[in-house]
Structure 1
Amino acid sequence: MKFKKVIAVSLLGVFSLGVFSQKKEVKISSEKITENIYMLQGQGGNIGIFVGKEGVFMIDDQFAPLTDKITSKIKEITDKPIKYLVNTHWHGDHTGGNENLKKEGVLIFSQENVRKRMSMDQVIKGKNKKAAPKEALPVITFSKDMMFHIDDEDILVSHVHNAHTDGDSHVYFLNSNVIHMGDTYFQGKFPFIDIETGGSIDGYIASIGKVLMLADDKTKIIPGHRSISNKKELQIYKSMLVTLRSRVQEALNEGKSFDEVSKDSNITKEYKDEYGAWFISAKKFRETIYKSLKDKK
């Protein structure tokens, strides 16, 4: 497969619209987590793969122009074909390779809202996102949960409600004690919560709480972006989110406006440097929480 170049865009465009950037050459790296599970990184969401006796179970697939590189990296790990692909949500940096992989015979699964979102035009942060072609859509969808039983591994794909979007799933490898959280976890940084397509701060916190109930001190956690994590880090992350949600709710209760919360750096003061120095700034995250809580009323 060979793919056309596209225009380089900002980091915001990469995450919110799923647009591929070629400002620099993208290299795909792999990190071995267990004997059969790996995390691949390149540009876009973290990819998870489980290598079975007869084929590969894959989680997310980044952007279409990277498919050749991604499949080449997988071939360095195993000569088994990719058989199954789960999309953790609908954003293009996690689903962009769907059409390419489907042409190779890969069977694609997702929560039902993922297919719905991909099937229609969307507006994200004021930008238009065209519907994906039919060839890129998941073939099998579910509403709540589904199980895969591959060799000696049981894999639970579980929907979490209104977290990063309205179609997020966690993928839990029960026997290997590994959980892929998709974009319901941006390890070490403020998360992007896509309110326009069903995300919410309350759902995001609840999603993390669900993983914390499943995890133990030995669980390996694959976030949607950045580095492999663990239960202790996730607990700290949840505490940060709960604290900021509480502060913004207090501001709402006091009748403060969107602009007042947006400008109030005291809300995020002790978290700004550590969590804000990446994709979502402290100011942007205050605004996201405000909008999410205001929408509840």
Structure 2
Amino acid sequence: MGFLHRFAFSATSIVLLSLGSPTLAQSQDFTKVEIKTVPVEEGVYMLLGEGGNIGVSTGEDGVFLIDDQFAPLTAKIQAALDQITDKPVRFLLNTHWHFDHTGGNENFGKAGVVIIAHNHVRERLKTDQFLKVFDRKIPASPAAALPIITFGDTVTFHLNGQTIHAFHVEQAHTDGDSVIHFREANVIHVGDVYFNGIYPFIDTEHGGSLDGMIEATERILAIADRDTKIIPGHGPLSNRAELVTYRRMLLDVRSRTRTAIQTGITLTDFIASKPTADYDKTWGKGFLPPQKFLTIVYQDLAARSTP
């Protein structure tokens, strides 16, 4: 039995909890979302639903969870976990602060799950935030949703026969991103440093940068081999070769944007020139259209190139 059964959570209580969390409950029908379980390696799984991909380690020591999507999905996530293990969720690690990765924190926290994240994640969650690019205010999370253990550089867990090593990558997707390496299983959960198959959102308002994204992928590639399974923040299960392709795209976009800035091309003219036309068919069909992705990149690089 999962923790929702042991703590007697009802469907009504899940909805009530979600109202106080930064979810999209008012604009999305979560009743239609299905949680899909993808086996990755023995004892390691990826859960797909709505929001960031969830990583799972199972075994005799209990469940180690990476991210938790949206609050109204907690019962469905627990039901999916119950299909693969009868052990309770003990630890939850947030890869960063965004609501589609931390929306279920309050539910899990109230059930006694230990929440862990980088120092900056707790700081972001405990205060109101605003995402200008989406014109959206994200209210501060309640106390039960906050990480109770935080770290600055690295933290290592020894669970389920795995060495689970989490390390901070600076100024990548945000200022508080963590990459989690299951060493024995040869699996890496990279959070939103990697959007598989679509242009990534870079939250420059909260410490993210294109340079940091590229540096983060290089750190991941340094510990990955041809057999490594990579769980991206969004998109299907991936591997080293696909991450190399993603990095190549980011490098090309950075080079083209820097050239435009150095030659005095305005943002409007840059976007109008369709500088990523060769990539748009493959990468431009996600939630972030090419023009919005290029705007974020241009403004980021322009600000950093200002004397």
- TM-score of Structure 1 vs Structure 2, range by shorter chain: over 0.9
How much does 1:261 deviate?
Answer: 1.9
Percent identical among aligned pairs is 44
Taking a change above 3 Å as real, the CA distance of residues 284 and 119 of structure 1, as seen in their structure-2 partners, is same
How much does 1:152 deviate?
Answer: 2.1
Q: Secondary structure at the match of 2:192?
A: helix
Q: Which residue number in structure 2 is paired with residue 62 of structure 1? A: 69
1:215-241 Cα distance to aligned partner (Å, 9 max, x none) = 000000000011000000000110011
Q: Which residue number in structure 2 is paired with residue 145 of structure 1? A: 154
Amino acid at match of 1:209: E
Contact map agreement 1:18 1:91 (CA 8 A) in 2: no
Q: Which residue number in structure 2 is paired with residue 30 of structure 1? A: 37
How much does 1:128 deviate?
Answer: 1.4
How much does 1:286 deviate?
Answer: 1.1
Q: 2: distance between equivalents of 1:90 and 1:18?
A: 12
Q: Which residue number in structure 1 is paired with residue 122 of structure 2? A: 115
Q: Which residue number in structure 2 is paired with residue 130 of structure 1? A: 139
How much does 1:93 deviate?
Answer: 0.7
Contact map agreement 2:30 2:73 (CA 8 A) in 1: no
How much does 1:151 deviate?
Answer: 3.8
Contact map agreement 1:58 1:84 (CA 8 A) in 2: yes
How much does 1:4 deviate?
Answer: 2.5
Q: Which residue number in structure 1 is paired with residue 222 of structure 2? A: 213
Match 1:175 to one of 178, 181, 184: 184
How much does 1:112 deviate?
Answer: 0.4
Q: Secondary structure at the match of 2:69?
A: coil
Contact map agreement 2:58 2:160 (CA 8 A) in 1: no
Q: Secondary structure at the match of 2:32?
A: coil
Give structure 1 stretches of 5+ with no counterpart.
8-16
Q: Secondary structure at the match of 2:90?
A: strand
Match 2:24 to one of 19, 23, 35: 19
Amino acid at match of 2:24: V
Contact map agreement 2:45 2:56 (CA 8 A) in 1: yes
How much does 1:263 deviate?
Answer: 2.0
Q: 1: distance between equivalents of 2:115 and 2:175?
A: 18
Q: CA RMSD in A?
A: 1.5
Q: Secondary structure at the match of 1:113?
A: helix
Give structure 2 stretches of 5+ with no counterpart.
1-8
Does 1:274 find its partner at 2:282? yes
How much does 1:5 deviate?
Answer: 8.2
Match 2:101 to one of 80, 94, 98: 94
How much does 1:195 deviate?
Answer: 0.9
Aligned ranges 1:180-199 → 2 under 5 Å: 180-199=189-208
Q: Which residue number in structure 1 is paired with residue 86 of structure 2? A: 79
Amino acid at match of 1:294: A
Q: Which moved more, 1:40-49 or 1:151-160?
A: 151-160
Give TM-score scaled by structure 2 length: 0.90
Instruction: After the TM superposition, list the runs of 4 or more consecutive aligned residues in structure 1 that deviate by more than 6 angstroms.
Output: none
Contact map agreement 2:56 2:64 (CA 8 A) in 1: yes
